[in-house]
Amino acid sequence: MKRTTYLSLTLLALASVFTSCTNQGKKSNGALTSNAAERVYVPPGQYDEFYGFLSGGFSGQLGVYGIPSGRLLKVVPVFSQDPEKAYGYNEETKPMLNTTHGFIPWDDTHHPDVSQTNGVLDGRWIFMNANNTPRVARIDLTSFETAEIMEIPNSAGNHNSAFVTENTEYVVAGTRFSVPIPQRDMPIKDYKGNFKASLSFLSVDQDNGHMDLSFQIRLPGFNYDLAHPGRDKSHGWIFITTYNTEEAYTLQEVNSSQNDKDFIAAVNWKKAEEYIKAGKFTTEATEYAHNIYNEETHTATSTIKKEVRVLEASELPGLVYFLPTPKSPHGCDVDPTGEYIVGNGKLSADLTVHSFTKMLDAIENKKFDGEAYGIPILNFEDVLGGTVKQPGLGPLHTEFDDKGNAYTTFFISSEVVKWKVGTWEIIDRKPTYYSPGHLSIPGGNSQKPWGKYLLAMNKITKDRYLPTGPELTQSAQLYDITGDKMVLLSDFPTIGEPHYASMVPAELIQPKSRKIYNLEENEHAHATTKDSDVRIERNGKEVHVYMTMIRSHLNPDNIEGIKVGDKVYFHLTNLEQDFDVPHGFAVMGAENAELLVMPGQTETLVWYPKKVGVWPFYCSDFCSALHQEMSGYIRVSPEDSNIELSW
Ligand code: K7E
Ligand code: RUQ
Ligand code: CUA
């Protein structure tokens, strides 16, 4: 199918969706009316059954929702600055956004993935990719804060990322674009054979979660889209969809979608570990930032690393195989048994499912159908596990329940289709409003799905909510999947554009959620843990204000002796040791952000006084009956004044 057909099909599909709604005069909302409301209703004061972690897409953040209610519980800032919490603005977290391209205040994130133990979600950490300036973040699920960010070198468009292996041995991050490696000035038309791709394996320290870029596998210059680690019987492998195996340097249809089939690359990472042990790698010079937030000091540090170990796929037998897959596959999803690998061919009429067992047989019997850059290509028929015939148009992603069913989103025909793994028959289909990308079932990408709910994340919102001008929020839709037929329960709006979401039973996370930081364990270099330490120090034009916050005063509250042209550091320590008593800090004319300091924590805001005057500062988070009294003044005198510091 040519791209033009694909596009016109999209338009056709959408057009028909909208004609049908307008024709009815009233919107067909697709929801069952009887007890859908009850099934998503969480009474006041009660908790949701699941946490839903939805990628924030082009917001760069992670949205935390209660499922089934769809209530937004928190936005965790990850790859973008957040003035509400001062993430990326205060001195403590600025290093988190450091890269070898400098300080990067924004990114685009697609795939959150929760850590696993023995192939089951364990709720310790969640990993997530930055697509634009390639990075992987680790978010700690006790503090719900970004704990670590690793830049990925030799990558461009970190899309098939961040995917967790079954014991969180690795977080895998693959490039979308092939690029010159090392980067250099060269003609784009010389792409073919010269551009290369990297698949990175970040090892994870099981005690503290710290990531290390263990090694990279160098792959031919295709485009790589999505990956899923094998599970259970296919543990030790990871499967990655490719497109543009033509290696066209422009992705116009005529160049890049000519091949009847692209590939799923099957990568044996256990084999990779053997090759590393045997010293079959080269150590390449490169540069990438590794940023770690320390919970004791409440401060992040950024280190630039200088080299990476590389395994050359074309030279190391048994490391990578190509499985022919029609046609420009997007999602690559592995069923809970690890036997079946679903390639969601965007331009294909059928869904292709490969068999892991057949793949191993074909490899063992060396039944190859040629090679690409020294990497064996298997026979399509030899590895085919099954075909779901004409399930819909534009398949993107598949998830699984705990009863042997698979669910696939279809972007063009705007629906979720339920089918049986093994018999490949279609069991049910339900429209989504409109054009879903990913879908998520709690644990639906692991050995143990909790097949109660399915969340479809839609790309197009149109008429689902009261209009808000040309820009509409994206929309998620929740389905009950406990019966044979899926039942649409609710719509809820989301931040940014969620791609994937990871949903986790609340009991895996809720008991471990941190309540406060212990003041006695506060090792911040500028902490003021008792009022007797409150002080102001001047060092040339640099002024350090060591301030405490407790209901209901900021101490010191009246400051004199500051001058235009100074650089004032406010180091705020929240002395509270009660759950849910943060204090905020805002000072008039601050060009960056406010602070929001958790009990026991210290944060630093830099302020450049530019105008002579007496400027107020105050607590920006309503904290007690005397919250409005939690304020003070800072007097700013001319640069040449000789007023002494006082407080
Ligand atoms: Cu399909 Cu980036 Cu996972 Cu979006 S990707 S939908
Ligand atoms: S004050 S409670 Cu500005 Cu009425 Cu907020
Ligand atoms: Cu502290 Cu309001």
The pTM (predicted TM-score) of the whole model is 0.94
Whether residue 168 is predicted with pLDDT greater than 90 in this model: the reply is yes
Q: Are 135 and 79 in contact (CB under 8 A)?
A: yes
Mean pLDDT of 21-38: 58
Spatial CB neighbours of 252, under 8 Å, sequence gap ≥ 6: 3
Q: How far is the CA of 343 from the centre of ligand 1 (A)?
A: 14
Phi and psi torsions of 458, nearest 5°: -95, 145
Q: How far is the CA of 46 from the centre of ligand 2 (A)?
A: 27
- Tokens 């199918």 correspond to 1
Distance between CA atoms of 90 and 82, rounded to whole angstroms?
10
Quick one: 258 exposed, middle or buried, by C-beta within 10 A (0-12, 13-18, 19+)? exposed
Give the CB-side neighbour count of residue 372, counting CA atoms within 13 A. 21
Identify which of 324, 313, 239, 309 has the alpha carbon closest to the alpha carbon of residue 271: 313
Whether residue 6 is predicted with pLDDT greater than 50 in this model: the reply is no
Q: Is the CB of 114 under 6 A from ligand 3?
A: no
CA angle, corner 160, sides to 270 and 85, nearest 5?
A: 115
Least confidently predicted of 18-32, 79-93, 368-382, 386-400: 18-32
Distance between CA atoms of 637 and 154, rounded to whole angstroms?
51
Query: Strand (E) positions, 175-236?
Result: 197-204, 211-219, 223-229
Residue at 139: amino acid letter = I
Q: Are 413 and 391 in contact (CB under 8 A)?
A: no
Q: Output the CATH code of domain 3-512.
A: 2.130.10.10
Phi and psi torsions of 11, nearest 5°: -65, -45
Q: Is the CB of 421 under 6 A from ligand 3?
A: no
Mean pLDDT of 567-592: 96
Strand partners, 309: 283
Distance between CA atoms of 181 and 286, rounded to whole angstroms?
10
Q: Is the CB of 575 under 6 A from ligand 3?
A: no
The total of other beta-carbon atoms located within 10 Å of residue 143's CB is: 16
Give the CB-side neighbour count of residue 419, counting CA atoms within 13 A. 27
Parts of the chain belonging to CATH 2.60.40.420: 519-637
Whether residue 260 is predicted with pLDDT greater than 90 in this model: the reply is no
Q: Is the CB of 287 under 6 A from ligand 3?
A: no
- Is 9 strand, coil or helix? helix
Q: How far is the CA of 437 from the centre of ligand 1 (A)?
A: 6
Long-range contacts of residues 137-142, Cβ cutoff 8 Å, at least 24 apart:
137/78, 137/79, 137/162, 138/171, 138/204, 138/209, 138/211, 139/62, 139/76, 139/78, 140/209, 140/295, 141/114, 141/509, 141/512, 141/513, 142/512, 142/513, 142/514
pLDDT confidence bin for 527, thresholds 50/70/90: very high
Q: Is the CB of 621 under 6 A from ligand 3?
A: yes
pLDDT confidence bin for 13, thresholds 50/70/90: very low
Q: How far is the CA of 622 from the centre of ligand 2 (A)?
A: 7
- Tokens 């650089």 correspond to 567
Q: Report which of residues 15 and 595 the model is more confident about.
A: 595
- Is 617 strand, coil or helix? strand
Q: Are 219 and 320 in contact (CB under 8 A)?
A: yes
Nearest CA to ligand 3 atom 1: 583
Give the CB-side neighbour count of residue 250, counting CA atoms within 13 A. 5
pLDDT in tens, 31-64: 555 689 899 999 999 999 999 999 999 999 999 9
Which atom belonging to ligand 1 lies closest to the Cα atom of 497? 4
Q: What b/e readout covers 226-244, taking b as 16+ CB neighbours within 10 angstroms?
A: bbbbbbbebbbbbbbbbbb
Strands 631-637, 558-563: pairing kind: parallel
Mean pLDDT of all residues in the chain? 94
Least confidently predicted of 4-13, 86-95, 582-591: 4-13
ipTM: 0.76
Q: Are 613 and 640 in contact (CB under 8 A)?
A: no
CA 406 to chain centre: 23
Q: How far is the CA of 175 from the centre of ligand 1 (A)?
A: 14
Q: How far is the CA of 438 from the centre of ligand 1 (A)?
A: 6
Mean pLDDT of 304-314: 98
Which pLDDT score is estimated for 26?
Answer: 44
**Token code pair at residue 320:** 């990578």
Which atom belonging to ligand 3 lies closest to the Cα atom of 627? 2
pLDDT in tens, 447-477: 999 999 999 999 999 999 999 999 999 999 9
Q: Is the CB of 459 under 6 A from ligand 1?
A: no
Q: How far is the CA of 131 from the centre of ligand 1 (A)?
A: 11
Q: How far is the CA of 137 from the centre of ligand 1 (A)?
A: 18
Q: How far is the CA of 596 from the centre of ligand 3 (A)?
A: 10
Nearest CA to ligand 1 atom 5: 499
Whether residue 257 is predicted with pLDDT greater than 90 in this model: the reply is no
Q: Is the CB of 74 under 6 A from ligand 3?
A: no
Q: How far is the CA of 109 from the centre of ligand 1 (A)?
A: 10
Which atom belonging to ligand 3 lies closest to the Cα atom of 581? 1
Q: Is the CB of 438 under 6 A from ligand 1?
A: yes
Distance between CA atoms of 193 and 271, rounded to whole angstroms?
25
Q: How far is the CA of 621 from the centre of ligand 2 (A)?
A: 10
Give the CB-side neighbour count of residue 198, counting CA atoms within 13 A. 27
Which letter does DSSP use for residue 78 in this model?
S
Q: Is the CB of 627 under 6 A from ligand 3?
A: yes
pLDDT confidence bin for 12, thresholds 50/70/90: very low
From the CA of 129, the nearest ligand is 1
Q: What is the 3-state secondary structure (H, E, C) of 498-564?
A: CCCEEEEEHHHCHHHCCCCCCHHHCCCCCCCCCHHHCEEEEECCEEEEEEEEECCEEECCEEEEEEC
Which atom belonging to ligand 1 lies closest to the Cα atom of 159? 2
Q: Is the CB of 111 under 6 A from ligand 1?
A: yes
Q: Is the CB of 163 under 6 A from ligand 1?
A: no
Q: Are 135 and 106 in contact (CB under 8 A)?
A: no
Q: How far is the CA of 48 from the centre of ligand 2 (A)?
A: 29
Which atom belonging to ligand 3 lies closest to the Cα atom of 628? 2
pLDDT in tens, 417-455: 999 999 999 999 999 999 999 999 999 999 999 999 999
Parts of the chain belonging to CATH 2.130.10.10: 3-512
Which pLDDT score is estimated for 546?
Answer: 98
Whether residue 24 is predicted with pLDDT greater than 90 in this model: the reply is no
Q: Is the CB of 629 under 6 A from ligand 3?
A: no
pLDDT in tens, 324-344: 999 889 999 999 999 999 999
Nearest CA to ligand 1 atom 4: 499
Q: Are 467 and 427 in contact (CB under 8 A)?
A: no
Instruction: Give percent above pLDDT 90 in the chain.
Output: 91
**Domain 519-637 falls under CATH 3.30.2010.10:** no
Whether residue 22 is predicted with pLDDT greater than 50 in this model: the reply is no
Which atom belonging to ligand 3 lies closest to the Cα atom of 552? 1
Which atom belonging to ligand 1 lies closest to the Cα atom of 459? 6
Give Rg (Cα) of the chain: 27
Which letter does DSSP use for residue 362 in this model?
H
Instruction: Give percent above pLDDT 70 in the chain.
Output: 94
Query: Strand (E) positions, 247-383?
Result: 262-268, 282-294, 299-312, 320-325, 329-334, 340-345, 351-355, 368-372, 375-378
From the CA of 396, the nearest ligand is 1
Sheet of 384-388, strand order: 329-334, 340-345, 351-355, 384-388
Which atom belonging to ligand 1 lies closest to the Cα atom of 396? 1
